[in-house]
Amino acid sequence: MKNHKAVIFDLDGVIVDTAKFHFKAWKKLANDLGFDFTEEQNEQLKGVSRVESLKKILKWGNMELTEDEFKRQMALKNENYLSYVDQMEDDEILPGVSKVLDYLNENNIPYALGSASKNARAILHKINIYENFDAIVDGTDVSKAKPDPEVFFIAAKRLNVKPEECIVFEDSVAGIQAANNGKMLSIGIGDKTTLKEADYVFANFTEIDIEFIENLLRKEKK
Ligand code: BG6
Ligand code: MG
């Protein structure tokens, strides 16, 4: 029987609530271009790379941009997004996450970050947990976006474990699919209906007992 031996965390929406900053920055971009952008649309961008997000937004707004203008808008969005990130304090780590990280640290369970964001490293530094991770894989390391499991496969490799030995925490549908595609155990953080493809779903980390994680580190994938 294979044990789960390691954990991979998504960043945005799992460790920190940065989805609200992405929303504000994309909304400003859309509004500046002359159309609206809703929270429902933002939901569909979770786990989606910056470039793919802008393509989707332009489609929703029925707008085309030249290549240069596209690049300029992406840069503006990121600048705006980072201005919100800059104001983050290290207590902005989502409730319940530290308890889980402490448990993993105390029990020498390796864990990695597996995020689509190119800003992931800066954010981990900002909230003072960068050094805790045994491996960090972000948007600068991958060529295939979630739901492709590439980001998690690289993380597993860097942790020196097999994909099926990993537990993945994710808040996006694409991320859950990526974990499932990689034969990893998927745990959704968010809405049960939205994340119905996950092996388990919790509204947030405060709902997760350490005992539950302890058991998973012994159990095989269903
Ligand atoms: C994901 C977010 O983690 O990273 C997406 O869920 C975001 O909303 C993507 O677009 C890319 O992030 P960044 O920071 O490189 O623009
Ligand atoms: Mg996420």
Domain ranges of the chain: 6-16+90-218, 19-85
Residue identified by tokens 């996450």 is 97
Q: What is the pTM of this model?
A: 0.94
Atom 16 of ligand 1 has which residue's CA nearest to it?
A: 50
Q: Which of 17, 26, 42, 50 to mutate to test the pocket of ligand 1 (most atoms within 8 A of CB)?
A: 50
Query: Which atom of ligand 1 lies at the shortest distance from residue 119's CA?
Result: 14
Q: Is the pLDDT of residue 127 over 90?
A: yes
Distance in Å, CA 116 to ligand 1 centroid: 6
Distance in Å, CA 172 to ligand 1 centroid: 11
Instruction: Give the model confidence (pLDDT) of 25-65 as tens digits.
Output: 999 999 999 999 999 999 899 999 999 999 999 999 999 99
Burial letters for 48-65: b for 16+ Cβ neighbours within 10 Å, e otherwise?
bbbeebbeebbeebeeee
pLDDT score of 91: 83
Distance in Å, CA 178 to ligand 1 centroid: 15
pLDDT score of 205: 98
Instruction: Give the model confidence (pLDDT) of 146-193 as tens digits.
Output: 999 999 999 999 999 999 999 999 999 999 999 999 999 999 999 999
CATH of domain 6-16+90-218: 3.40.50.1000
Find the DSSP H helices in 34-191.
39-43, 50-60, 67-86, 97-106, 120-126, 150-159, 173-181
Q: What is the DSSP string of 167-178?
A: EEEESSHHHHHH
Q: Which of 29, 48, 177 to mutate to test the pocket of ligand 1 (most atoms within 8 A of CB)?
A: 48
Instruction: Give the model confidence (pLDDT) of 193-208 as tens digits.
Output: 999 999 999 999 999 9
Instruction: Give the model confidence (pLDDT) of 58-92 as tens digits.
Output: 999 999 999 999 999 999 999 999 999 999 887 88
- Give the separation between CA 67 and CA 40, rounded to whole angstroms: 27
Contact 16, 123 (CB under 8 A): yes
Which sequence positions are flagged as catalytic?
10, 12
Q: How far is Cα of residue 69 from the mean position of the Cα atoms in its chain?
A: 27
CATH of domain 19-85: 1.10.150.240
Burial letters for 85-109: b for 16+ Cβ neighbours within 10 Å, e otherwise?
beebeeeebbeebbebbeebeeeeb
Q: Which of 11, 18, 49 to mutate to test the pocket of ligand 1 (most atoms within 8 A of CB)?
A: 49
Residue identified by tokens 């159309």 is 35
pLDDT score of 1: 38
Q: Quick one: average pLDDT of 93-110? A: 97
Distance in Å, CA 211 to ligand 1 centroid: 31
> Which protein residues touch ligand 1 with a CB less than 6 Å away?
11-12, 22, 45-50, 53, 78, 115-119, 139, 172
- Give the separation between CA 155 and CA 176, rounded to whole angstroms: 15
